[in-house]
Amino acid sequence: MNSETNPVNEFIQALSKGVTPFSNTIRLSHEAKILKNHENHLFIGLKNGDIIIFDLAVTVILKTFTTGEKKLISMDIDPKNLFIITIGEQNLIKYFNYQGQLQKQTHSNHNKTLTNMIIFNDHLYITDTSGYISYRDEHKEKIIQGHTNKISCIDKLDNIATGSHDCYIKIWDKNLSLIGSMKSEKIIHRICFINNNILVSAGNKSLFCIWDIQKYELSREIQSEENWVRSISPSKYCDFIISGTNDACVRYWYLDSKNNEAYESFIAHNGAVTSVSTNEYGSLIFTASKDRTVKVWQTCREIKVYKEFIGHTDTIMCLTLTNDDLFVYSAGADAMIMKWDLNEATLSKILKGHEQTITGIALIEETLVSVSEDKYAILWKNDLIYKKVKMNEYLLSVCISSGHIFVGSRSGSIYVFNYELGLTNELIGHFSSVATLVCGNDKLFSGSQDRTIKVWELENLENVYTIKAHSSTVKKLLCLCQEKKLMSVGCDKTLRIWFEGDPPLEICLKEHDAAINAICLNSNGWYTFTGDNKGFFNIWCNDELVKLKSLDFGEPIHDIVSLKTEPLILIALGNKIQMKTDLFAESQLMTVPNRLSFLYFLYLSSLLKGKSVNYKHPFKDFVVVPFRINLLHIMAYINDVQGLREAMKNGVLFLSSSGENPLRLALDQGSYQCVDAILKYIPIYSKKISPFIFKSIEKEFVELFSLNLKNLPSFLNEAFPVVKSKRLPNFGEINKTSIIISDTINIIPNKFELKSGAKDVIEFHGCVFQLPLNLGSNSCNNLIKNILKCENPEVFDQLLVQNILEYLMKCAYKYLVLMTLLNFSSILVLLLYFTYFQTNLYFAIIILTINTLYLITEILQMIQSWEYYSADFWNIIDTLRIISTFTSIITILADFNGVLISNFVSFTMLFNMIRMISLFRLFEGTRYMIRMIFEVVSDISSYLLVLLMTTLTIAISFYFVNTNKSDFTTVLLETYLMNFGQIDLAGYQDNYFMKGLFFFALFLNPLVMMNLLIATMGDTFSRIQTTLVISNYKEIASLVLEVSSFMVWKRKDNNKMYLQCCRKKEIATFSGSVTVKMKKMKMDVDRLLIISSESSSKLDRIIEILNK
């Protein structure tokens, strides 16, 4: 996917540039003193007495007005009467409406300057500089001396708290009766309630005091090194205190932090932060500063109940939506069916026809079917009873397919009706209540109290399979036809996923603590929702099969449905229905959990900007939706290997996001250390966290081979595990490993070549993701090329790689045999032509035609991949063979010089016969020898250069010392032959210098250089023997790619399949690795003995020659 259009990359790049977190800035004419929030309005009190009303929804200033005071002391909002109440230096209490019009004003009953004001339980509470506190309402007033010095702050929750310069904090009830007090060592400047048990105060400079207001004692102090704390506020989530300080920062503090460091901080303004507050939901933070600005920070997304439908008098058991998503039908224990208008959130109609609990409803077009414990099935048309049918037992479930209505009963029977509710059949299979029914494309699935799921063919209504599914009642089923899987939930508190096959593959997820009643896909199909008897609502990622989040709704959840046309979901909670926003199908940015989003974005932004920020465990479970981005994506993107390891060690979810998982990001960024770290943890995740994680990295698998990764072998081992199932045989008769491909992940024993009998212990292996195994396709070619590039020898010891290559070799074998026959025929035709029929034009035309076909094949290979083509030795031989053959034919037809023709013919036959040698790679016994030839040539390349120089040096010396003055070519040839023991002493008797030169030449080349050659080739042979398996499979890969390269008609056939195998079970022994080492040592000793014997015989031969 192009990074320019990928939303994941766009989001990460925006974060790295500091685009998020966001804030709206309100610029003021004077410094703000007080911030108050009510619904979508922010009320800003300026020091000069002006009031500004700011609309948070449309982010505009609605109204600015003056209070008539030169200095504003305090301000609060009366939400009941919609008044803005202010006090100023005149000690007047003024009441303004939201349009800024003065409604009334009164004098306070205080004699001293007022300091604070607050609205609580329809009472107005006021404090002053002398320590007095009063309250008033429409009927009475009261004033008492609460403190002995100035009351500097006041706050409310269930009671009222005041803080004073006399160092006391006091708690009052609504009638100003003292409940308790706490003594501080410092003057109290700011206080705020965190909850009913905790109150926080800020005193001198940056001292925080956390008070237990149940015991009225100090719990702990937080002393920071930062500047004076000017304001504090709770975060609405009870985990944090938010503070504004003189250094223009806003800081978050953990209540239970074990150190004095802020959890997170950010620079909010250009001056001291004088006021901090949050809205009712905690989704916004408001900050005011001496820089004459107020800023609105979006901390998270505000989540409300979108709509609520109340009308049932008892538990709602089932919901069903109309096709257009305009209405929903609900039914339950009150025996009524209610039709709700979703747009208006109103009750449209009540359908009465049953007398007992309605257990199931189903809808198709305008036809509604309901079943009940009153034993009736009712067919409704246009919301009126069309037909009623009474059975002899409780009816518990219903579903509709094309042509049939299926009804599940208490006895275990499934009744089949036509669309007129005429009984046509009865399916008998379950022996207890059929609790749920659901239809797929061509199958009916039924779940029962007998703990099984039965699969029925819709065409003939026969039971084709029975799954022993749960350890208790199967409550609900969900069929995903396109993905060929079925989901089931039950009273055993598990969610199980079944993949199509015989036997079906099962994945069990355990994250609920109560019976699961409901299951539903969200509108875009990315997530599954489940609800249980305790009211917990779990959200599951469908790709990775992991739980993303759990929400507590407090009441049993009996059904969940998702709208198709809008990102909304309906949840049956007790006797009401709640419509909530489907957060995971919306495009608006947020995090899950939906809190502290601002800090999370700030943290991610800090990581991307390269700041020294460590892994923070509180953000472990945070995910940015709808992109599904978390810490792993960011750390992979910035190549933070240590942070990535720490995050994966702590179980941060591995998620795919718009095709971009952390592994994909690491590969794109070239962060190969991160790739290796991810490969290490993927098998761990597969066993403990995400059972389907391998499937999510299917697209990245091919690229991994081309990298030298330490953890790749262990990853490959886990990707091709032994499949254990009660339904798979443990014994059978098999001659060799049977390898197949399948379009389902399930292993089906009938597909393997198992003979009757049970003498062998067998095991099944299955790849956990699909592979591009269509020989000739582009994706298959890429896989083979990357395997050939792999430099890690342990990779070729992995059963998965071996089975991939063996399967592809099996597919390519018939083409290889055909190539062998063609090559043999081509050589035979050439021999006949060059030997007997050079004058026969027809022979020449046949040879030219065959050669032209070869040329076209080579050109196609060049076009496909010139890099690979030019690097392969056999391709070079093919090119030379074609060129020499064309040249030979042309020279013969043109009647060139006979010597020239002979030379070209010789070259032609040489290259054709060399190419014929390559076909010995077809046979396992000779395959490694071909590889050894290349390895030997590669290993002795440096040696050959030195041998050439020594031979040339000796030849030049002999040439100039030789008095007979033979030509240099003859001398060079004699010197070269001397290397191999062909010595003519006649030419070396002239003088003593020539004899000495002769002895030196004998010592240097035949003795030293030849023994060095033998030693080098022995090392190569030893290495080939120890890596015989690797050599074998590399040759297989080379052969397969050679065949695949000319299968151009399959280039676009990039389908993927599951690779599976059945083989004899190997009993692992401890001595395996020791045996390999002993074998290698024995080979090394044998090689040394051979070298010693050869050297001894050569020396004896030289001595014998010299004696003559």
Cβ–Cβ under 8 Å, residues 955 and 980: no
Q: Where are the alpha helices (DSSP H) in 738-798?
A: 778-789
Return the sign of the alpha-carbon dihedral for residues 41, 46, 52, 56: negative
Cβ–Cβ under 8 Å, residues 229 and 206: yes
Distances (CA, A) of 834 to 837, 852, 891, 895: 6, 18, 12, 13
pLDDT tens, residue by residue, 737-775:
789 998 888 888 888 877 766 677 888 999 998 999 999
| pLDDT value at residue 1073 | 46
Report the amino acid identity of residue 283.
Answer: S
Strands 367-372 vs 358-364: parallel, antiparallel or unpaired? antiparallel
How many CB atoms are located within 10 Å of the residue 71 CB?
13
Q: What percent of the chain has pLDDT over 90?
A: 40
Cα-Cα end-to-end distance for the chain: 80
CA–CA gap between residue 175 and residue 157 (Å, rounded): 14
Taking each helix axis from N to C end, the angle separating 672-688 and 712-719, rounded to the nearest 10 degrees, works out to 30
Retrieve residue 364's tokens: 């198709």
| pLDDT value at residue 1094 | 63
Taking each helix axis from N to C end, the angle separating 712-719 and 799-835, rounded to the nearest 10 degrees, works out to 100
Secondary structure (3-state) at 533: coil
From the centroid of its chain, how far is CA 934?
42
CA–CA gap between residue 863 and residue 881 (Å, rounded): 19
Retrieve residue 766's tokens: 């299955």
Q: What is the DSSP string of 163-208?
A: EETTSEEEEE-TT--EEEEEE-SS---EEEESSSSEEEEE-STTEE
Residue spans of the domains in the chain: they are: 224-301, 812-920, 938-1034+1063-1107
Taking each helix axis from N to C end, the angle separating 1028-1045 and 799-835, rounded to the nearest 10 degrees, works out to 60
Retrieve residue 914's tokens: 């060399």
Distances (CA, A) of 948 to 589, 753, 954, 1013: 71, 57, 10, 13
Q: What is the DSSP letter of 990?
A: S
Helix (H) or strand (E) holding 646: helix 641-649
Residues in the chain, total: 1108
Tell which residue, 144, 146, 148, 95, has the closest CA to residue 119: 95
Tell which residue, 792, 625, 426, has the closest CA to residue 7: 625
The half-sphere exposure of 777 on its side-chain side, counting CA atoms within 13 A, is: 15
From the centroid of its chain, how far is CA 298?
28
Q: Where are the alpha helices (DSSP H) in 411-497?
A: none
| pLDDT value at residue 1017 | 77
In the predicted model, residues of the chain with pLDDT beneath 50 are 1-4, 1068-1073
CA–CA gap between residue 432 and residue 632 (Å, rounded): 47
Cβ–Cβ under 8 Å, residues 152 and 186: no
| pLDDT value at residue 1087 | 63
To the question of pTM greater than 0.85 for the whole model, the response is no
From the centroid of its chain, how far is CA 687?
15
How many CB atoms are located within 10 Å of the residue 248 CB?
19
Cβ–Cβ under 8 Å, residues 526 and 541: yes
CA–CA gap between residue 1015 and residue 939 (Å, rounded): 11
How many CB atoms are located within 10 Å of the residue 52 CB?
20
Cβ–Cβ under 8 Å, residues 644 and 635: yes
CATH of domain 224-301: 2.40.128.630
| pLDDT value at residue 544 | 83
CA–CA gap between residue 396 and residue 411 (Å, rounded): 10
Cβ–Cβ under 8 Å, residues 702 and 779: yes
pLDDT tens, residue by residue, 472-507:
999 999 998 887 889 999 999 999 999 887 667 788
Distances (CA, A) of 1020 to 382, 929, 1073, 1083: 85, 11, 21, 12
Strand partners of residue 250: 244, 266
Tell which residue, 832, 885, 874, has the closest CA to residue 1041: 874
Report the amino acid identity of residue 346.
Answer: T
Tell which residue, 512, 517, 429, has the closest CA to residue 473: 517
CA–CA gap between residue 1045 and residue 1038 (Å, rounded): 11
CA–CA gap between residue 753 and residue 1029 (Å, rounded): 25
Report the amino acid identity of residue 264.
Answer: E
The half-sphere exposure of 649 on its side-chain side, counting CA atoms within 13 A, is: 10
Longest dimension (CA), the chain: 142
How many CB atoms are located within 10 Å of the residue 1035 CB?
24
CA–CA gap between residue 498 and residue 506 (Å, rounded): 5
| pLDDT value at residue 472 | 94
Tell which residue, 705, 728, 846, has the closest CA to residue 789: 705
Strand partners of residue 249: 267
| pLDDT value at residue 649 | 92
Extract long-range pairs of 3-12: CB within 8 Å, 24+ residues apart: 3/668, 6/658, 6/659, 6/660, 7/627, 7/658, 8/627, 8/629, 8/633, 8/657, 8/658, 8/660, 8/665, 9/660, 11/589, 11/624, 11/627, 11/629, 12/608, 12/629, 12/633, 12/634, 12/637
